Structure 1
């Protein structure tokens, strides 16, 4: 079931009953990237999967990551009915979750930061600038191959052609202005000096073969957070919940609070 939150600006699906669990999708994908794990999670939690601002039926927020995080924080406040949720962000959704954790203490009970970090290397920053420039000059179609390589290893793409058709189509639906704004945000991102503000427990996950946000970023993030543990998901790249949903669920199982669908 879809519902609108934050004054009608954020569209989100809801499944299951119980304590709230919020899932935030990546920049190069959409909320469907969680479809393989939502049914299992919804057995124990009320799973809320927003479309990030500017995606799907959610209205764009401002041009900064703070604007996006504030909008999602408003939506989570509306959706969680006064009960602090667990928030899981993958990729860009992880950066949004991290900014939100810094700026909105007390909003969530704990966080799962999957395949993200606090700052990119110089090469990582340049990759976002290059993608933004190419999309502006030639459209998203010109960088679709690059986007898919940032999500999945070539071997996985070759073995799952139907999934890749679906993921390419999802990427091409992205609002180009929203995409370029996000690229600009990530190219300048540096939250390392603010990590001490995230005082709730955190789980940092990363796919072993993630090229978009390489494992050293997750190591640094986990080291900089006051209360964090790190897990590496073997054989996976940037979206482990799509590539290996069972491994993903196993990785987060012992971090999630004990809950029933009640």
Structure 2
């Protein structure tokens, strides 16, 4: 079922029954990046799969900064699952949004699954986002497509899955260039490390071994900064492990998801 949330500003797909689980997609993808894990998760959870602000039918936020995105998504989650904390699963950019939601709206979050993200980029990563922001403004997204795919998937995976890669390229090119540019600028400036100590909910951090966009060192730093956390490195995977190795991804997170407190169940 597709619905509009947060005063009709956020488009979301809601399927399944059970404890609420919200899936937040990456900057270089869309909510279709969860297609391979939707059915298994919907058999056990009430899935809320929104399009982040500026993606698909979701309206962009007026204010600049990741805080405004997190606040918009918090409003959407409260509409979808009123009065109940949720499990947030964010991949890439969606992971940064999930972190901001946990920091700014702690009552909303029961657990965090943070896939291929971090609390801050090292200077080379910051510069990569600044460069992509400039390229998006001057050349458009078409000139960034190959760079984007290289940040999502290793070369051998791309060669072995041409149909998937074509679908991912088409999804990337549907992104609003201004939204993409703004997100790149925000990520280049972001540093959530000082606020990680305020996160009190359990967190499961995982990262693809071959992730070039948010390398494992970022996930290690993130896991060290959150008191109640655990971490897994997924061998052979890059930035979107739920697409590259969905069964392996589910096996990695299932025990953590299933250990959520009984009182959070519906």
Fold shared by both chains (TM-score > 0.5)? yes
Q: How does 1:38-49 map to 2 (within 5 A)?
A: 38-49=38-49
CA distance in 1, matches of 2:100, 2:240: 20
Aligned twin of 2:216:
215
TM superposition shift of 1:17:
0.8
TM-score where L is the length of structure 2: 0.96
Q: How does 1:220-231 map to 2 (within 5 A)?
A: 220-231=221-232
Aligned twin of 1:107:
108
TM superposition shift of 1:258:
5.6
Aligned twin of 1:247:
248
CA contact (8 A) 1:3 1:12 kept: yes
TM superposition shift of 1:78:
1.1
TM superposition shift of 1:84:
1.0
**What do residues 95-119 of structure 1 show as CA deviations (whole Å, max 9, x unaligned)?**
0000111111121100011100000
Q: Is 1:13 paired with 2:13?
A: yes
Aligned twin of 2:81:
80
Unaligned runs of 5+ in 2: none
TM superposition shift of 1:81:
2.5
Bigger CA drift: 56-65 or 208-217?
Answer: 56-65
Q: How does 1:125-136 map to 2 (within 5 A)?
A: 125-136=126-137
**What do residues 29-84 of structure 1 show as CA deviations (whole Å, max 9, x unaligned)?**
00000000000000010111000000001011122100000000111111112221
Q: How does 1:84-103 map to 2 (within 5 A)?
A: 84-103=85-104
Aligned residue pairs, count: 262
CA contact (8 A) 1:222 1:229 kept: yes
Q: CA RMSD in A?
A: 1.4
CA distance in 2, matches of 1:258, 1:143: 41
Aligned twin of 1:150:
151
Q: Secondary structure at the match of 2:257?
A: coil
TM-score where L is the length of structure 1: 0.98
TM superposition shift of 1:158:
0.2
Q: Is 1:33 paired with 2:33?
A: yes
CA distance in 1, matches of 2:235, 2:171: 26
CA distance in 2, matches of 1:237, 1:108: 27
CA contact (8 A) 1:132 1:179 kept: yes
**What do residues 168-222 of structure 1 show as CA deviations (whole Å, max 9, x unaligned)?**
0000000000000000000001010110111000001101100000000000000
Aligned twin of 1:122:
123
TM superposition shift of 1:18:
1.0
TM superposition shift of 1:225:
0.6
CA distance in 2, matches of 1:257, 1:57: 32
CA distance in 2, matches of 1:77, 1:11: 14
Q: Secondary structure at the match of 1:141?
A: helix
TM superposition shift of 1:146:
0.2
CA distance in 2, matches of 1:133, 1:222: 31
Aligned twin of 2:140:
139
CA distance in 1, matches of 2:188, 2:151: 16
